[in-house]
Structure 1
Amino acid sequence: MTALLSGQTYQRWRDILVLAILYFATAKLGHSLALPPGYVSPVWIPSGIILAAVLRRGYWIWPGIFLGAFAVNVSAYLDTSSLQSLSNALMAGTANGVGHVLSAVLGAYLIQRTTHTTRPYKTAAQGFALILFGVVAGTFLSALFGVTGLCATGFIPWSRYGATFATWWTGDAVGVLVITPFLLSLERHSLSRWILPEAWLFAVVLGITALHGLMLPEHVAGHIALVSLTPLVMWSLFRLTPSITFASVVFISAAAITAFLIGHGHFIGADANANLIELQLFIAIQVISTLILQSVVLEHRATEQRLRLARDQLDATVMARTKELKTKNEALQVSEARLRALIDHLDSGVVVHAPDTSILLTNDRAETLLGLSEAQMAGRLAIDPYWRFVDRQMQTLPVESYPVSRILATRQPLENMLLGVVRPDRETTTWMLANGSPLSDARGELIEIIISFFDITHIKESEQRLDHLAHHDALTGLPNRLLFNARLQQSIERAERCSGSLALVFVDLDRFKHINDSQGHPAGDELLRQVAHRLAKAVRQEDTVARISGDEFMVLLEGVGPTEHARVAVEQLIEVFKTPFPVRGHPILMTASMGICIYPQDGQEVDELMRNADIAMYRAKEDGRNGYQFFSAELTKVAIEHAVIDTALKGALEREEFALVYQPQFDLADRKLSGVEALLRWRHPELGDISPARFVPIAEQHGVILEIGRWVLLTACRQARAWHDAGLDFGRIAVNISGNQIRGAGFAETVHEVLLEADCEPRWIELEITESFVMRRLEHSVVQLNRIRELGVQIAIDDFGTGYSSLSYLKQLPIDKLKIDQSFVHDIPEDPNDMAIIASIIALGHALGQIIIAEGVEAEAQAEFLKTKHCDQVQGFLYGRPVSATEIAPLLLPFAAPKKTQHPIEA
């Protein structure tokens, strides 16, 4: 054993040394082939050798790779006159050695891991794995370590890192492409094919063709020869061994490189870099196409061989099975005529009738289904009144439609006739599928009729249950949308015939999602069941309650007279929600919004009535929920306008229909400009000017406000930069922010990005956020506002006084300014209540160290009152209307613009 291990160790170190010498020799050859610029070798042969060595020998051969690469680099960069040069050469050699070891070992590992073979060229997947892991991934490591080592040691400047990396990588990649498949394809038994005449003929023709095509590009013969290279290689794929095919590619690559180095042939031109890339691309295309096609050919051959084996096995199996079936068939032929009918209907009730329909024979299952014993049924005719047969509509079948009668009339088999059997001893119907066959003697005379009955009562019951499920809601048991639409259509037709009317009520639960989110879906389901039960009890028997989706119900009230009658019925539905719903031991108070439309004045079609009831329901929600609303033409107008604005909003930004106007803000004490507020305007080419009060809620509802809000902020920031560069003192630009914008977690980052994009300083911008939104999402608001304040942007609370702020909450907010809502300013000094509220807000804001601004100031009396209460700033028509940036520019005071030294915000 010791001697064996010693022999193996000797062989391994011999192979390692041989690989190191081979690497060194081929690397020197590669250096001799290098050419400017950058002294790039078109193909780095050692890369292909080391990958093949690891795949064929194993990972233990890696020291040979390292020694070869180390020796080559040290000999190339060593300068004995300098100790520093020696150190740098050793470092470069080490980096290069490590890079090539990792390149070969990792490439081989990934190839073997994915293909489970050391010769990855026999299937298309193996070929692609060789290209991906050996050519692309492995060589990337060698280039990374090698170029980094040369730059780190100073042999190559860092400025040339990218170019050197690219040429290094491509040289290594081409080396693997050309050399590795050829070395892996060498096998002892394949060498004998080299002595075949067709192999020699192929070698001669390929040599002549390659030399003419690559060295005589300007001649017609050269073009023909160059085009002929690919068909030649393709021919070898099918006729010769993979080693000969890959050897031909190596020869073509060597011929192309030789022609390139001696300055002749197809790859010579004024741009050396372009020529080198073209050469490497030519070689890569030749090798990759050959590798992939060779793998496809080999895979096809292997598949054909497997198919031949499978076909042979199938033939043998068929023959054996045929013999077996023949034997069994002979054994069954004796009893087939006597037993065929009974065997075919073994699981069914079987009744044998005489030609006069009298019963001759039955089995146990027939006795169970028909309710009489064999002795009791013997001699009875098929038309015996003990049974009554019905069809699927429960109509009694005439005698001529009985199964026996139909067979007697046609003398043909009967298949799968559905019928029900009603027995006097049962209240239910047994549903069966009847099959029958006439039996005749050798002369063709009818001797017997065999009827089999298969019980499908459970199937019919399942069909009825499925039909119920198809037309009813599985959770509540109420009719679903499909059944409700059908009943509504029938009611419309009845009302039309009788000149009557009906009412349709759309019921939508208010804030039902909160129940699901807080209590869980099981609690939500239980609540829906209770709501359905109460609604069904609140209407008459002839009315219909349906659940059409989620938390939406429809109520159809038949024969409703005037509108007041419908109102009374809806009031009863509202009463349903006055009592809490006990869900899992907890009382839940639920409200609903209802929309009512009346047939025929509010619509005459199913879809129209349901749509109008839906519109009325949404108006009820807009009016504060927990109520009802009758449909009117005005509601349709509002819904249409909503749809028109929603459609027009799509693409409004791209069509540049939005614009900003600016309204000045002044210090009340000295009436100096303190800032401007940016206000959004929409000028539609067809709809005209559309007020923000009309389109902003729609934009918020459909999510468009995020894109519009970012545009407003960016436009205001760019205007601030423009005014500043023009030397104008505008104070701050106040920008209104929608609650939908600040609701997102990344709004502070969006503000930062906009400031950077517009080159705007944060101190020029003030964000206005409504009081109601801030107080509704206090914890989230504090976090977001603090992050915005950290950017240097001021924060103002807009419409202050209209929300529900408390002192304990207000002091937590990072607020710089409170903006008194114009609804309080409008009626001063006539309304003492508004005056008291304003005085309190000013005192509160000053106590918290905040600036107070009043909006909507239109009269001097209002300004004087605000001044006496020490309000800091004012805004309104008294001081200026919103105008464009050009029109407001004269109001902005000039100042000496500072020299710009750096970007105002760091990214």
Structure 2
Amino acid sequence: MNSQTILGIMQNDIMESLLTAQQQRLMDTLLDNLDGMVYRCLYDDSWTMIYVSKGCQSLTGYTPPELLLNKDISYERLTHPDDREKARAIIARALAKSERFQLEYRIVRANGDVVWVAERGSGVFDDDGQPVALEGIIQDISDRKRIEQALFSTEQKYRSMFDNSNLGMFQTTESGTYLNANQALADLYGYASAGELISDLNNISTQLYVAESRRGDFTAAISAYGRVQNFESEVYRHNGDIIWISENAHAVYDTLGNILYYEGTVEDITSRRNHEQQIHQLAVTDKLTGLLNRHAFSGKLASLIAEADKMQRKIAIAFIDLDHFKLINDTLGHRAGDKMLENVAQRLIQSTRPTDAIVRFGGDEFVMLYPGLRAGEDAEPLLERVMEAISLPIEIGDYVFNMTCSVGVSIYPDHAQEIDALLSCADSALYSAKNAGKNKVQMFSGTLAQQLGERNEIEYGLGHALQRQELMLYYQPQINMQHGNINALEALIRWQHPEKGLIPPDEFIPVAEETGHIFAIGEWVLQTACQKIKSMQTEWGYLVPIAVNVSPIQFLRGNLVETVQRVLRQERVPPHLLTLEVTENARFKDEAMFTRTLEQLKRLGVCIAIDDFGIGYSNMAYLKNYPIDELKIDKAFVQDLEQSVTNGNILLALINLGKSLHKSVTAEGIETEYQHRFLLHSGCDVGQGYYYSRPLSEQALAEFMREQQPKFDHMQRVAR
């Protein structure tokens, strides 16, 4: 063998030695880093250690050299005397079956401390199958044993309380499994025993709570505050039923601040929650129709808005008002009106989607909420379905009604983002639909927004109009058709707005009625008209009666009788010179109050006229029972008299009706010679309209009165 061959063999041996040494160092490092002591010992009476890892010292308090080959102490002596026999027996049984062994016992450390260890390992056998050694790992389990001991001590301490308490009691791990439960809790959750409950419920989050997030809420609350009090949740019972519970619980910690378990009590509060739900349901539900009521509206719409924002969808808010519902209520009574509302509510329910919401806002007003729309136009077919459903005949007792409705619609977020603003937009659209003839759907628009702005300006301005003396009265003569002289004057209010100029009453009186300004304005009109009666007597020497229009709102809800009496007394005007004109339909707001007010006014001595007669309620039987002095035929029957034979026939009928009831009859809106002559020859008493005179300002009235002076003088001479 040459030198090069010998050198190669030596190099290979060196490399194998280096690799072996490197592997040994790697193995030693791995073993030394394990938590516990890796060992090999002889299967003898002393458990003589022939290898131990460095974990030996942290586990036993002895260094490996002190323990190896029983130099200073044997592992047998380290084993607690009370556990030596039991430990050897467990290992022997495992070796006899050639199985791995696993056991727990105590050892006495070098400093005298007793610790619990867990040992896992297997036997080393000779060629004959006899055990000659053991190898495995021994680890400190003192912390776990302390927890188990704490649990055992706690269980012993509270077992009597657990067993005898009427409250459900529990201990659970932080991860959500039951460690302990009493029979009361088992009964509450529908289990035969606490053991069955603990065995079955191994995931509280998913198996117990209806809302899985509640377990997270529970643990988060304890983490933040150390405990939970009156923690209410819906949970499943063993049979699938759902009940409400209230939990009070806290965390139990070890000496290092780690959570050992949660413990607490559980109470069934299903009855209380159901009762609270019933109370809440009554608070947010309309008693008559079962729909949501006005109190629930804002909350419901707010939740739909939050969902719409998340899904990037729109919501239609439809304000529905039943047309002519008041007539049904007043003629057939409130019971029939309630039946009508119940029928309408059911039809609304049947014509909506499951996601829609219906609110009875009050009276005959409903609000429909249509969520999940991609565009405002998507609401149109939904509203058409509602209109069709309501228009179908409704039977109430012996009557069949064809009800219609007016609808105003606003869209979130196109028209507004705030709830009050959305409702205001829908209300404005509803007002427009009703003014357009009813039985219509009106979508809010920029034009309506402008009108709403103008209305708000009017409302604001009305609050200052009286103080700033912007209101004034114009006077339109009412002419005695037989003699051609002035029979009376009608006072017509005007508003001289500092920016908008002269505003006619049909633009601001409805706003005044809605806002309540009508009461102050009405009293001002009465007082100004009475002052005019006195000034005309002083200036011209004649007493000319003046008629004043009275709003139904003022007539029925204000202190009209007291106001009239006070003004007449203050201005010292004879009552018969004041005529109060009220529209025919005012009686249907509250007929009882209408009757009482009329009778009280007549006792004061004023005259009563029914304005716009003929276009209101068709039942005229009330005319013979109420103290009415004058009927004012609406101008709608006078217009187009030349072309309309029907209008002529109606006028004759109305005049004859008035005459038969011994009422004075006045025709409004006379503009042509033909109309004047027709009414004169038909027996009409008084005429009013542009044919005789337009409404006159104070200055124009003075000029008109000067022109009428000869007629007044002639009448006085005839009278003498």
Shorter-chain TM-score tier? 0.5 to 0.7
- Partner in structure 1 of residue 678 of structure 2: 865
Matches of 2:589 and 2:213 in 1, distance apart? 66
What's the TM-score, normalizing by structure 2?
0.60
Asked if the contact 1:390/1:420 (under 8 Å) is kept, the reply is: no
**Partner amino acid for 2:304?**
R
Q: Which residue of 1 aligns with 2:367?
A: 553
Look up the match of 1:389: 204
Q: Which amino acid aligns with 2:356?
A: T
Instruction: Pick one of 666, 673, 688 that aligns with 2:479.
Output: 666
Match of 1:82 in 2: none
Residue of structure 2 aligned with 1:635, choices 431, 445, 448: 448
> Against the structure 1 CA distance between its residues 457 and 338, is the aligned structure 2 distance closer, same or farther, given a 3 Å change threshold?
closer
State the alpha-carbon separation in 2 of the partners of residues 340 and 519 from structure 1.
75
Paired residues for 1:874-893 under 5 Å: 874-890=687-703, 891=705, 893=709
CA distance in 2, matches of 1:452, 1:590: 63
Give SS of 1:390's match. helix
- Structure 1, residues 750-777: CA drift from partner, whole Å, max 9, x if none? 3232221101123433333333335876
Shift of 1:657: 1.5
SS across alignment from 1:646: helix
Aligned residues of 2:308 and 2:372 also touching (Cα < 8 A): yes
Instruction: Compute the displacement of 1:512 (Å).
Output: 7.5
Q: Which one of 439, 448, 458 corresponds to residue 269 of structure 2?
A: 458
Query: Structure 1 885/612 Cα, relative in aligned 2: closer, same or farther at 3 Å?
Result: closer
**Is the Cα–Cα contact under 8 Å of residues 394 and 400 in structure 2 kept in the other structure?**
yes
Q: 1:487 aligns with which of 304, 309, 327?
A: 304
Matched residue pairs, number?
536
Pick the aligned partner of 1:733 from 534, 539, 546.
Answer: 546
Q: Describe the SS at the equivalent of 1:830.
A: coil
For residues 606 and 179 of structure 2, what CA distance do their matches in structure 1 show?
Answer: 102
5 Å-filtered alignment, 1:283-682, equals: 347=165, 348=167, 363-365=182-184, 368=187, 371=191, 387-390=202-205, 393-394=211-212, 427=240, 433-435=248-250, 437=252, 452-456=263-267, 458=269, 462=273, 469=280, 473-475=284-286, 476=290, 481-495=298-312, 503-508=316-321, 534-541=347-354, 543-547=355-359, 549-550=361-362, 552-559=366-373, 563=377, 566-578=379-391, 592-598=405-411, 602=415, 609-623=422-436, 625-682=438-495
SS in 2 for 1:842: helix
Name the CA shift for 1:732/1:842 in 2 (closer, same or farther; >3 Å).
same
CA drift of 1:359 comes to 10
| Equivalent residues of 1:506, 1:596 under 8 A apart | yes
Which residue identity is paired with 1:390?
S
Q: Secondary structure at the match of 1:828?
A: coil
Q: 1:360 to 1:779 in 2, by over 3 A?
A: closer
**Distance verdict in 2 for CA 1:494–1:520, change over 3 Å:** farther
| Contact residue 419 and residue 433 of structure 1 kept, 8 A | no
Root-mean-square deviation (Å): 5.2
* AA aligned opposite 1:829: E
Q: Is 1:817 the equivalent of 2:630?
A: yes
One-letter code aligned to 2:367 = F
Pair 860,690 (structure 1): closer, same or farther in 2 beyond 3 Å: same
Shift of 1:692: 0.7
- Residues in 1 aligned to 2:234 and 2:544: alpha-carbon distance in whole angstroms: 94
Structure 1: distance between partners of 2:613 and 2:196: 95
Q: What letter corresponds to residue 487 of structure 1 in structure 2? A: L
Secondary structure at the aligned position of 1:683 is classed as strand
Change (3 A) 1:374 1:682: closer
- Distance in 1, matches of 2:369 and 2:416, equals 16
CA distance in 2, matches of 1:585, 1:764: 47
For 1:390 and 1:800, how far apart are their aligned partners in 2? 74
Paired letter, 2:658:
G
Quote the residue 1:283 is aligned against: none
How far is the alpha carbon of 1:661 from its aligned partner?
1.9
- Return the offset for 1:414: 7.1
Gapped regions of structure 2 (runs ≥ 5): 1-152, 714-720
Gap change, CA 1:572 and 1:690, over 3 Å in 2: same
CA distance in 1, matches of 2:227, 2:557: 70
- Structure (1/2) with the larger strand percentage: 2
How far apart are the structure 1 equivalents of 2:396 and 2:521? 43
Please say if residues 504 and 613 of structure 1, whose CA atoms lie closer than 8 Å, have aligned partners that are also in contact. Answer: yes
Q: Which has the higher helix share?
A: 1
Identity of aligned residues (%): 30
| Equivalent pair of 1:664/1:880 in contact (CA under 8 Å) | yes
Shift of 1:826: 3.0
Contact 1:471 1:482 in 2 (8 A): no
Q: Is the 8 A contact 1:349 1:364 kept in 2?
A: yes
Q: 1:660: Cα distance to partner?
A: 1.4
Distance 1:519 1:808 in 2: 16
